[in-house]
Structure 1
Amino acid sequence: MSFIRARSVAQLRAVRIAQPVNARFFSSPTDGSVKTSPADAPTTPPKDSSLIRKEGPGEAMAHHQPDYDATIDHATSTFSPVPRRVMDGSEPGDAVAAAVLSGAPTDLQARTVRIYKPSKPATQSGTWHSHHWRMDWDVLGKGHRWENPLMGWQSSGDFMQGTHINFKSKEDAILFAQKQGYEYFVQEPNERKFVPKAYANNFMHEPKKLKHIRTK
């Protein structure tokens, strides 16, 4: 019985070999010039691995460097490139910006901070809150605020719109902005000028012609 079964299997194999084979299951040897191995892929380095690699402190920084040669559309874009001393510390400066290794997002470094002295409110409140200097992220026009990608509006979705820092002096605020690598501008306050009332001077003697003081 086993002899008959072996004979039938041999005949079936012979029939299959004689018939044309389906192209889906047939593979011919490829040409030697064709690159088929994973090592020949263009995105894979020839020697080192692309998944496990030791990076130094300089290489571990953010790799999304802005394109300084890009053409800016002044009609729709208000973005200003981040200085190189902030991104990679390549430009000389008085101090190394903390943004080089802080990992802060690029959008934050592109913002301009405003250093100013708060003015006295119009009410009869005191002047205590107008003695210090304040630094906030510019909320004026062209201040690189967050914009809604749908409508282009600036709203409270800006994560820095409610942030401010107080300093005792203007020099302290400027030094802090320089250490952090922020672009800043100083808005000088408008000092109020008080002129003392001198109604009695109208009746002082003068060697000239007498004054004609009108009360109506």
Structure 2
Amino acid sequence: MIARIYQPARTAMSSGTAKTHQWVLEYGPSEAKDIDPLMGWTGSGDTQSQVRLKFDSKDAAVAYARDRGIEAQVVEPQKRKPNIRAGGYGENFATNRRGPWTH
């Protein structure tokens, strides 16, 4: 079973960077999920896929995996440049605009 070490991305509904500074160690599935014939629910006997460990740094996560003999794959984050406007949100309501404000 291979674990994955990554830094989570921000949510699509947010422009902030909260909850994106920690590193996560997450186990991959070791067996396929099956469908219960009576209820139709999806289930599995794999309890390791429910485990998510959080670390303050990538080095701490890699050291944890190495010390416990966990085969881990590190996924580097793809950083993007923040879109910060000079006037910010208040610029939408500025009284000294050169042109009319439209949507």
TM range, smaller chain:
0.5 to 0.7
Give the number of the structure whose alpha-carbon radius of gyration is greater.
Answer: 1
**Match status 1:175 vs 2:59:** no
Root-mean-square deviation (CA, aligned residues, Å) is 2.4
Higher strand share: 2
Uncovered stretches (5+) of structure 1, i.e. residues with no partner: 1-110, 140-144, 150-154, 199-216
* Equivalence map 1:1-216=2 (5 Å): 111-124=1-14, 126-139=16-29, 145-147=30-32, 156-157=43-44, 158-194=46-82
Q: Give the gaps of 5 or more residues in structure 2.
A: 35-41, 87-103
Cα distance between partner residues in 2 of 1:156 and 1:186: 28
Identity of aligned residues (%): 31
> Counting helix residues as a fraction of each chain, which structure ranks higher?
1
Deviations 1:35-66 (A, max 9, x none): xxxxxxxxxxxxxxxxxxxxxxxxxxxxxxxx
Calculate the TM-score normalised by the size of structure 1: 0.32
Q: Please tell me the residue identity of whatever aligns with 2:24.
A: R
Counterpart residue number, 2:89: none
Poorly superposed stretches of 4+, deviation over 4 Å: 195-198
Relative contact order, CA 8 A, sep 6+: which one is greater? 2
Equivalenced residue count is: 78
Partner of 2:50, secondary structure, is coil
